[in-house]
Amino acid sequence: PLRGRSALVTGSTSGIGLGIARALAASGCDIIYTGFADDKVLAELQADFRKYAGITARYFPADLTKPTDVERLCTMAREHCADGVDIVVNNAGFQHTSPIESFPLATWDAMMAAMLTAPFLIIKHLLPAMKAKGWGRIINISSVHGLVASVEKCAYVSAKHGVNGLTKVVALETAGSGVTCNSVCPGAVLTPLAEKQIRQLMKDHNVDWNDAQAMLLSIQPSNDFVSTKQVTIKKKSNKIYKLVAIFNNIRYFRMLSVLL
Ligand code: NAD
């Protein structure tokens, strides 16, 4: 259903972004994947994407904390997709936990750059081609922390609230153009990002993996993680919202908008 379409998925070397990139590839979409990865992981990813028949998958490196890298990524993506990128999934992100009094400014700046400024720049650079052809899908992977707060996550919560604001503005500015912009606000998904938090809780509270996991899940009503494999597009669907609908089925998951 997405054959002939192209997608840029940031943070697609791991976790949710990789799940989304695979789901798009399985649906026939050409993929640009990006994110941190060593040579071994890149070789595995290349082999993995080769399994999807009839699509191209290209890796472009970029550190999204650096606006120059983001701009270079956009230029490479535009050059790679003659007709412009059809689908943008702004997914890359990372977590740092600390009380605000000891939260390092450099970490705050890096998180804002990767999770708010990079989506802004990517949309800014790739939207014109979408508007020109009258079709485009922008999906920002926000978080439940774009809607509510938790202690010790000042930068993450601020960046994710910001992304939801950015989403709303872009949705308004693209209304009627054939381009849509939505946020997905997942609760806890068991990825390296969540595993890092579990390890931090083990250290901070001197508890084992299971107890730390229970602490992380204590605010998630389903009391369980969502797997990245649940991020999927049903066969024979041409609607991208299938990609995000799974999040809506989980009680604590919220979608900012279903304007797709
Ligand atoms: P992950 O750690 O598995 O993957 C993060 C991806 O982002 C990786 O590909 C990594 O290389 C990339 N990345 C990180 N910093 C980057 C940078 N500076 N430049 C370029 N790429 C960078 O994490 P995940 O859980 O899959 O997270 C993906 C998104 O989902 C994030 O935006 C995260 O905030 C959001 N999210 C995650 C959860 C969860 O519980 N895991 C919940 C809600 C929202």
Task: Sketch out the chain's domains with CATH numbers.
Answer: 6-185+228-255 (3.40.50.720), 188-225 (no CATH)
**Is the beta carbon of 59 within 6 A of some atom in ligand 1?**
no
Query: Tokens in use for 156?
Result: 């993450």
Euclidean distance between CA atoms 19 and 23, whole angstroms: 6
Handedness of CA 89, 7, 73, 83 (dihedral sign): negative
Pocket residue to mutate for ligand 1, from 20, 71, 94, 167, most atoms within 8 A of Cβ: 94
Do the Cβ atoms of 141 and 186 come closer than 8 Å?
yes
List pLDDT tens digits, range 158-217: 999 999 999 999 999 998 899 999 888 888 888 889 899 999 999 999 999 999 999 988
Do the Cβ atoms of 248 and 241 come closer than 8 Å?
no
Q: pTM of this prediction?
A: 0.90
**Is the beta carbon of 65 within 6 A of some atom in ligand 1?**
yes
Atom 9, ligand 1: which residue's CA is nearest? 11
Lowest mean pLDDT among 122-136, 174-188, 233-247: 233-247
Q: Over the range 139-150, which residues count as b (16 or more CB within 10 Å of their CB) and which as e?
A: bbbbbbbbbeee
Ligand 1 atom nearest to 62, measured from its CA:
20
Q: Outline where DSSP puts E strands in 108-234.
A: 136-141, 179-185
**Is the beta carbon of 195 within 6 A of some atom in ligand 1?**
no
